[in-house]
Amino acid sequence: MRLTIILFILIVCSFSAFLFIIRKKNIHLWLKHYLKRKMTLNNKTDKTKHIMFCFVDHYEPMWGKNVSYEQECARIERWHQDYPKVAGKFKDADGYHPKHSFFYPEEEYRQEHLDKITDLCHQGFGEIEIHLHHDNDTSENLKVTLERFTETLHENHGAFVRNESTGKLQYTFIHGNWCLANSRSDKKMCGVDNEISILKETGCYADFTFPSAPSDTQPAQVNEIYYATCDPCVAVPHNKGVEVEVGVSESGDLMLITGPIGINWKNRKKGIFPQIENSDVRASMPPTKDRVNLWVDTAITVKGKPDWLFIKIHTHGTQEQDMNTLLGKPFEEMCQYLEDKYNDGNEYSLHYVSAREMYNIVKAAEDGKDGNPNLYRDYNILAPKYKVK
């Protein structure tokens, strides 16, 4: 009897602790959709599975307090020198090296820093995109900010290609502090409820912000590529949307390309509680083989196209404590594992892509294209011509 009581107390305590963790980590925001998708996912195919692998970076040279100009320059210089050395060791099925998508913050712009990044892009090691931190902003100011910054990057560095019909420069976006469309619960770090509309109006064609777990900005819809619609009556308009599907016209204002999120039972806290997989790569969360397998198994696809898989992971690349992970052995081991296990040319074929290329391949799948996705890297949005000085 006494043993039964003790076991009962242990079970209750464990369950209570589990519920506490769920709330503390905001797992309740996305768990329902995650579990439903896990139970209904059918990703079987007889075709070769093509893996589109995209590494996006919240690239912040001024990150941290009291950062000197010399430290900013040192961060940029290390990437300029070391990334080609490590990425140059690897190639995908198409002969491309790993590509880094540098989402550069508007408020941290220095031309000399972007000149270095532009050179990396010109060498084929990445592309430049837009990142923005803002607070208590307005729709009018946001529009001016985005249009000014895209024009600056285009004029000074050759980033982006102009839409011939609208005249707008076309770009992808990451929201600083994760709070797209003023989605943070305290309404800080943004201020613009109709941000999705402003992004579309200024030439943005896809958002790459999420996942943001364990932040309370994490949308409910996970592990899918979907369209969000700006709705003034909805507090978080991108919380749910219309999944991108083969043969179905786009629906909404902005495509959200999300990275893998889930529960990693192979990495447990104190050997008991599973860790949240949120696609973040850093020293404390290295890109291990188990994580790579989980990213693949998550099977983010365009609905109706199970043989094209989209993996988007993210990092904050200018933080010194993480650079050895991103520019050293852990990155090399990740690429080697990807190429050994997921690039055999039979069961799997690997494609390193930029954010722009990933979007283009998604659109090609939506339009019913088939075969080698390498054919569609420039399907809708052409590659920019970077200016090297």
Q: Where are the domains of the chain?
A: 25-40+48-376
Q: Tell me, which fold does domain 25-40+48-376 have in CATH?
A: TIM Barrel (3.20.20)
Residue 268 clears pLDDT 80, i.e. is over it: no
Question: What own/partner pairs with CB < 8 Å and gap ≥ 24 does 194-199 have?
Answer: 194/139, 194/230, 194/232, 195/139, 195/142, 195/230, 196/228, 196/229, 196/230, 196/237, 196/238, 196/253, 196/254, 197/230, 197/253, 198/139, 198/142, 198/143, 198/146, 199/146, 199/173, 199/254
Q: How many helices (H) and strands (E) in the chain?
A: 10, 13
pLDDT tens string 80-98: 999 999 999 999 999 999 9
Stronger pLDDT, 141 or 20, i.e. the higher one: 141
CB 207 within 8 A of CB 255: yes
pLDDT exceeds 50 at position 46:
yes
Mean pLDDT of the chain: 93
What pLDDT does residue 12 have? 42
> What pLDDT score does 3 carry?
59
> Distance between CA 27 and CA 62 in Å, rounded?
31
Average the pLDDT over 4-32 and give the result.
Answer: 59
Instruction: Note the pLDDT tens digit of each residue in 129-177.
Output: 999 999 999 999 999 999 999 999 999 999 999 999 999 999 999 999 9
H/E stretch holding 140? helix 139-157
Query: pLDDT > 90: what percent of the chain?
Result: 88
Q: What is the pLDDT of residue 389?
A: 80
| Measured distance CA(73)–CA(79) in Å, rounded | 10
Residues in the chain: 389
pLDDT in tens, 57-73: 999 999 999 999 999 99
Picking from 95, 112, 92, 96, the residue whose alpha carbon sits closest to that of residue 104 is 112
Q: Compute φ and ψ for 246, nearest 5 degrees.
A: -60, 130
